[in-house]
């Protein structure tokens, strides 16, 4: 049987070994769980980065949060002026006309990066002129709830051929009642909403794209 001190010593050793076993099991389980979470996160992020963007219908109305957009027509012009915008002598410009409706509560001109032309037709470093077509006002503030016809005008590279179509990436923003930096409401986090392929017509007299 052994003395009482011996029995107590054996009990303490048994309890210590049991505790060590449980700690080892918990540690291994924790490492396994953390590893699984990490792998799942990496795979999820990889999948999200490589998931293709939605393909948007060219003549549809597109909700991008701050704006409602409806592409109307695109064409190339070699005229000296495009809606009052002076073009480079001897050059051509790609013009996209689009209906834009401001969905916010105040006038805004936050539309400069809403439409991004693909690099196969337009130099990515080239920013478009943006004009109100009804009076050729350059980059006006658009009022809430009033659809306006706008023209995005990109100067084409010298010697560029007239494309049959061109690709656009449409950018949307998300409304936040309070941003993290200033604590003010606004539209933030620009994110690609989808892509468009727009046919390019022969000139400004062409008909609008039909749904």
Run of H or E including 31: helix 4-50
Same domain, 121 and 192: yes
Task: Summarize pLDDT for 165-187 with one digit per residue, the tens.
Answer: 999 999 999 999 998 888 899 99
Same domain, 196 and 151: yes
Same domain, 25 and 67: no
Does a structural domain hold residue 208?
Answer: no
Which whole number is the average pLDDT over 113-133? 94
Return d(Cα 6, Cα 200) in angstroms, integer. 94
Supply the pLDDT for residue 100: 98
Q: Which residues constitute the domain of residue 28?
A: 1-51
Task: Summarize pLDDT for 40-68 with one digit per residue, the tens.
Answer: 444 454 444 568 999 999 889 999 999 99
Same domain, 134 and 41: no
Does a structural domain hold residue 209?
Answer: no
Per-residue confidence band for 202, with pLDDT thresholds at 50, 70 and 90: confident
Supply the pLDDT for residue 124: 85
Which among 196, 201, 187, 167 is positioned nearest to 69, based on CA atoms? 196
Same domain, 47 and 70: no
Does a structural domain hold residue 151?
Answer: yes
Does a structural domain hold residue 210?
Answer: no
Same domain, 114 and 196: yes
Same domain, 143 and 174: yes
pLDDT at 36 over 70: no
Per-residue confidence band for 35, with pLDDT thresholds at 50, 70 and 90: very low
Same domain, 158 and 93: yes
- Alpha carbon 89 to chain centroid, angstroms: 34
């Amino acid at each position: 049987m052994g003395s009482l001190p011996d029995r107590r010593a054996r009990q303490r050793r048994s309890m210590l070994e049991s505790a060590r076993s449980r700690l080892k099991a918990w540690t291994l389980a924790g490492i396994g769980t953390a590893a699984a979470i990490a792998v799942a996160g990496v795979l999820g992020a990889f999948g999200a980065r490589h998931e293709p963007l939605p393909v948007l219908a060219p003549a549809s109305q597109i909700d991008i949060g701050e704006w409602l957009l409806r592409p109307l027509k695109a064409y190339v012009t070699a005229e000296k002026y495009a809606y009052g915008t002076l073009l480079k002598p001897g050059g051509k410009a790609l013009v996209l006309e689009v209906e834009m409706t401001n969905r916010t509560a105040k006038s805004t001109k936050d539309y400069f990066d809403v439409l991004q032309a693909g690099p196969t037709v337009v130099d990515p470093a080239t920013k478009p002129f943006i004009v109100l077509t009804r009076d050729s006002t350059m980059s006006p503030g658009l009022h809430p709830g009033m659809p306006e016809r706008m023209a995005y005008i990109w100067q084409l590279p010298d010697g560029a051929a007239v494309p049959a179509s061109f690709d656009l990436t449409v950018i949307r923003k998300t409304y936040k009642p309070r941003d993290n930096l200033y604590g003010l409401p606004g539209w933030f986090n620009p994110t690609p909403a989808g892509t468009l392929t727009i046919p390019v017509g022969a000139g400004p007299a062409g008909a609008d794209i039909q749904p």
